[in-house]
């Protein structure tokens, strides 16, 4: 855990070395070991100076999130934090010089341990990052980070870093004053020791700046008018951006404002209370579960079928060089894989490549990529109209027009060329995979790889298993998704799969509210206040109202009498058939899109959807917009469309921007408690209709006391 040694110069070395992990992490055990070693070094008269360092390439990666996820006793948790604060204070006030040698990254609690030392020397390591990512998981730096950082570098310099979780390079951290010296990699321990020996030789007790007489916060404290104004503006901007859904950045501002108005010990006491409040909050637990553990498992391909050797991809085929094809080709080439980009004509294929080249040229012009790197990426994309060029592709993905016949045709032509074990994937957004696989002579190798637009940027791929898709095809497809740096979720075949189906309920509910006479501005504002990135009516305009209309029409044809009409159907019909308002693409939808100004709600809406005198509360609208997604998600689980609860939450956050503070559509129910969720669904179904009807699965879970997630 922690290696302790004392050398002939009286320097005690405290070397962090967390067993069995590639990174050092902070938890009760590792902190106990550290503080015990600190106390030993402080008490030993033979020890004149203390050198803190790491046996691993990085210093400390941060707090133990598993421990934080499980923490449920506020009193115990708070006591543990206060104990750490006292131990760190004892070290910095011990009088002996304490230096830390940072070979690599120091993040979160790791940086806080470093700030608890008098002097920080870092290796000139381009991979190292320094910062406080806590806020991105609903937390705050609770080991003194909100107090020592501003006292060291000033509030102005660090407020953004603390409230946004920005990670700094070593040069940036040094410039800000977080690091005292940067030395060539490998020399950091020697440099730290040199400083210690100088302090010992000087013979004066070494103190932190804030423990020295006459100390003043660099740039001033909260009573300074400039700082006060920045805090007010920062708080207002935060509220505008987050609608108070994220308590962490707000609490960080409070720690700065309240903590800096007093001495460091009182400031730490203030931080400990806010940290305890956050660490035990549902928001932090939801974010840690989905954004950290869920994402980590998905990216590690934890659900990949076992026993299939990992597939390395060298060449893939991309059918259709349109918007999606070009984007997927970009991501694939970026991963070092050759791409044969095929369209109906050479010109059409070239056009797709030209899109990719233009995107990379933009990055070159912004200094984010070198011209050579851009040229190498472009050289891996081979536009063609000739199917023979697909020979040797380990995987071919089609993103041609959304028409069954065209997709069947390209499947047949491709399978005539590619190897028997190659995978054929469809990027269809609406057509069931099992039906498309009927055109394939090897349906076991046929799978859905559903990308999101813009494909070169969006991080999620929804992998869809057809009835005949083999586990081997799934495993190898997951290898491809990982290779191109995207996150996969795996679902079983069904209409709309998972993401389009559930995302559609949000848009549809917004349209239902409009139909009921709710003011459109209130509907879209409630959408934003719920944490969704865009209001449902705006979103309908972006997606295109005629697309919503066409998908509903096709579903009606396919399902016949089994089709359950949705409230949005009537709204979409009116908008498309009668009013010819198709959405943003026709500059006319629920909004008007003037060429010379910002979009605004179409005044004609009032005539077709009269606003009723009594409006529902914004909370009740938010509840409907959020719960409608949760109920549909449970149905997806019940119908075995979803294979695992966590896939639902990750797919929602990455696929359609579901608010991370809720954890995901299932995270929302988990936070409510399943019993409460059942009661809420029953109430909503009684007032708004069967789309809110409590799924059987949820009721059974409530009866049996089951949960979607252990914590």
Short-list 447, 388, 392, CA closest to 419: 392
Short-list 419, 409, 357, 455, CA closest to 655: 455
Backbone φ and ψ for 692, nearest 5 degrees, come out as -100, 5
Question: Between 674-688 and 696-704, two packed helices, what is the crossing angle to 10 degrees?
Answer: 150
Count residues contacting ligand NAD (CB under 6 A)?
Answer: 23
- Strands in 181-183's sheet, in edge-to-edge order, are 2-6, 11-16, 49-54, 98-102, 119-123, 181-183
641 within 8 A of 498, measured Cβ to Cβ? yes
Peptide bond into 454 cis (omega under 30): yes
- Footprint on residues 441-470 left by ligand NAD (CB under 6 A): 451, 453
- CB nearer to ligand NAD: give 655 or 667: 655
- Pick one of 114, 115, 410, 449: the residue that binds ligand NAD (CB under 6 A): 410
- CB nearer to ligand NAD: give 276 or 499: 499
- CB nearer to ligand NAD: give 301 or 406: 406
x/- string (CB under 6 A) for ligand NAD, residues 304-333?
---------------xxxxxxx--------
Segment near ligand NAD (CB under 6 A); pick from 189-197, 421-429, 474-482, 615-623: 421-429
Backbone φ and ψ for 429, nearest 5 degrees, come out as -100, -15
Segment near ligand NAD (CB under 6 A); pick from 134-142, 415-423, 426-434, 595-603: 426-434
Segment near ligand NAD (CB under 6 A); pick from 61-69, 132-140, 425-433, 461-469: 425-433
Segment near ligand NAD (CB under 6 A); pick from 154-162, 239-247, 423-431, 514-522: 423-431
x/- string (CB under 6 A) for ligand NAD, residues 367-406?
--------------------------------xxxx---x
74 within 8 A of 276, measured Cβ to Cβ? yes
- Pick one of 180, 242, 344, 620: the residue that binds ligand NAD (CB under 6 A): 344
Q: Please enumerate in sequence order all residues whose Cβ is within 8 A of that of 207, keeping only pairs 6 or more positions apart, or say none.
A: 92, 93, 95, 118
Angle at alpha carbon of residue 420, lines to 418 and 425, rounded to 5°: 65
- Pick one of 15, 188, 343, 680: the residue that binds ligand NAD (CB under 6 A): 343
Least distance from ligand NAD to the Cβ atom of residue 385, Å:
8
Short-list 568, 573, 574, CA closest to 536: 568
The rounded distance, in Å, linking the Cα atoms of 7 and 197 is: 12
The rounded distance, in Å, linking the Cα atoms of 565 and 556 is: 8
- CB nearer to ligand NAD: give 119 or 658: 658
Residues known to be catalytic? 450
Least distance from ligand NAD to the Cβ atom of residue 672, Å:
31
- CB nearer to ligand NAD: give 132 or 451: 451
- CB nearer to ligand NAD: give 25 or 326: 326
DSSP state of 388: G
563 lies in the site for ligand NAD, by CB under 6 A: no
491 lies in the site for ligand NAD, by CB under 6 A: no
Short-list 453, 506, 462, CA closest to 659: 506
Residue 675 buriedness (CB in 10 A; 0-12 / 13-18 / 19+)? middle
- Pick one of 1, 207, 228, 348: the residue that binds ligand NAD (CB under 6 A): 348
- Pick one of 199, 276, 429, 492: the residue that binds ligand NAD (CB under 6 A): 429
Least distance from ligand NAD to the Cβ atom of residue 399, Å:
4
The rounded distance, in Å, linking the Cα atoms of 513 and 505 is: 12
- CB nearer to ligand NAD: give 401 or 563: 401
698 within 8 A of 674, measured Cβ to Cβ? yes
- Footprint on residues 165-224 left by ligand NAD (CB under 6 A): none
- CB nearer to ligand NAD: give 409 or 703: 409
The rounded distance, in Å, linking the Cα atoms of 427 and 541 is: 23
153 within 8 A of 177, measured Cβ to Cβ? yes
Instruction: List contacts with ligand NAD (CB under 6 A).
Output: 319-325, 342-344, 348, 399-402, 406, 409-410, 427-429, 451, 453
């Amino acid at each position: 855990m922690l290696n302790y040694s004392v050398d002939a110069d009286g320097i005690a070395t405290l070397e962090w070395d967390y067993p069995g992990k590639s990174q050092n992490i902070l938890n009760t055990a590792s902190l106990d070991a550290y503080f015990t070693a600190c106390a030993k070094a402080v008490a030993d008269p033979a020890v004149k100076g203390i050198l803190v360092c790491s046996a691993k390439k990085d210093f400390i990666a941060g707090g133990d999130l598993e421990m934080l996820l499980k923490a449920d006793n506020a009193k115990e948790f708070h006591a543990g934090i206060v104990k750490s604060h006292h131990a760190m204070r004892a070290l910095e006030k011990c009088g002996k010089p304490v230096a830390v040698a940072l070979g690599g990254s120091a993040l979160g609690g790791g940086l806080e341990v470093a700030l608890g030392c008098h002097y920080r020397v870092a290796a000139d390591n381009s991979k190292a990052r320094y910062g406080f990512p806590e806020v991105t998981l609903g937390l705050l730096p609770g080991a003194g980070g909100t107090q020592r950082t501003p006292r060291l570098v000033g509030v102005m310099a660090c407020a953004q870093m603390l409230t946004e979780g920005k990670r700094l390079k070593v040069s940036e951290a040094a410039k800000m004053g977080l690091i005292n010296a940067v030395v060539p990699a490998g020399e950091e321990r020697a440099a730290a020791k040199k400083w210690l020996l100088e302090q010992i030789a000087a013979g004066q007790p070494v103190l932190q700046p804030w423990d020295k007489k006459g100390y003043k916060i660099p740039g001033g404290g909260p009573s300074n008018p400039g700082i006060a104004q920045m805090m007010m503006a920062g708080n207002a901007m935060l509220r505008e951006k987050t609608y108070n859904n994220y308590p962490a950045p707000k609490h960080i501002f409070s720690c700065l404002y309240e903590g800096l108005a007093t001495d460091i010990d009182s400031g730490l006491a203030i931080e400990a209370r806010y940290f305890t409040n956050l660490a035990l909050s549902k928001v932090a637990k939801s974010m840690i579960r989905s954004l950290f553990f869920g994402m980590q498992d998905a990216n590690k391909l934890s659900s990949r079928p076992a026993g299939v050797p990992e597939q390395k991809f060298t060449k893939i085929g991309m059918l259709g060089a349109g918007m999606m094809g070009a984007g997927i080709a970009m991501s694939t080439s970026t991963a070092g894989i050759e791409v044969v980009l095929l369209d109906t004509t050479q010109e059409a294929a070239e056009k797709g490549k030209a899109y990719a080249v233009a995107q990379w040229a933009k990055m070159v012009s912004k200094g984010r990529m070198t011209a050579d790197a851009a040229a190498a990426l472009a050289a891996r994309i081979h536009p063609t109209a000739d199917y023979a060029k697909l020979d040797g592709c380990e995987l071919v993905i089609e993103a041609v027009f959304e028409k069954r016949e065209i997709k069947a045709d390209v499947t047949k032509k491709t399978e005539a060329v590619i190897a028997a074990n190659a995978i054929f994937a469809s990027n269809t957004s609406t057509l069931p995979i099992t039906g498309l696989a009927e055109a394939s002579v090897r349906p076991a190798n046929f799978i859905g790889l559903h990308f999101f637009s813009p494909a070169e940027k969006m991080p999620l791929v929804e992998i869809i298993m057809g009835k005949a898709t083999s586990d081997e095809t799934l495993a190898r497809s997951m290898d491809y998704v990982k290779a191109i740096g995207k996150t996969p979720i795996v679902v079983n075949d069904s209409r709309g799969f998972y993401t389009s189906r559930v995302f559609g309920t949000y848009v549809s509910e917004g349209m239902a509210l409009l139909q009921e006479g709710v003011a459109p501005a209130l509907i879209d504002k409630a959408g934003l206040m719920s944490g969704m990135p865009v209001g449902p009516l705006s979103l309908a305009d972006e997606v295109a109202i005629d697309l919503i209309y066409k998908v509903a029409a096709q579903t009606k044809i396919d399902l016949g009498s089994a089709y359950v009409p949705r409230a949005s159907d009537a709204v979409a019909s009116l908008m498309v058939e009668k009013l010819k308002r198709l959405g943003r693409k026709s500059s006319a939808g629920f909004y008007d899109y003037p060429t010379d100004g910002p979009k605004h709600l179409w005044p004609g809406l009032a005539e077709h959807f009269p606003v009723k005198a009594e409006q529902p509360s914004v909370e009740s609208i938010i509840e409907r917009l959020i719960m409608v997604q949760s109920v549909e998600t449970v149905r997806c689980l019940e119908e075995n469309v979803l294979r695992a609860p966590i896939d639902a939450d990750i797919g929602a956050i990455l696929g359609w921007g579901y608010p991370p503070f809720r954890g995901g559509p299932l995270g929302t129910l988990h936070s409510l408690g399943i019993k409460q969720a059942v009661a809420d669904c029953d109430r909503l179904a009684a007032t708004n209709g069967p789309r809110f009807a409590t799924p059987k699965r949820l009721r059974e879970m409530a009866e049996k006391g089951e949960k979607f997630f252990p914590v």
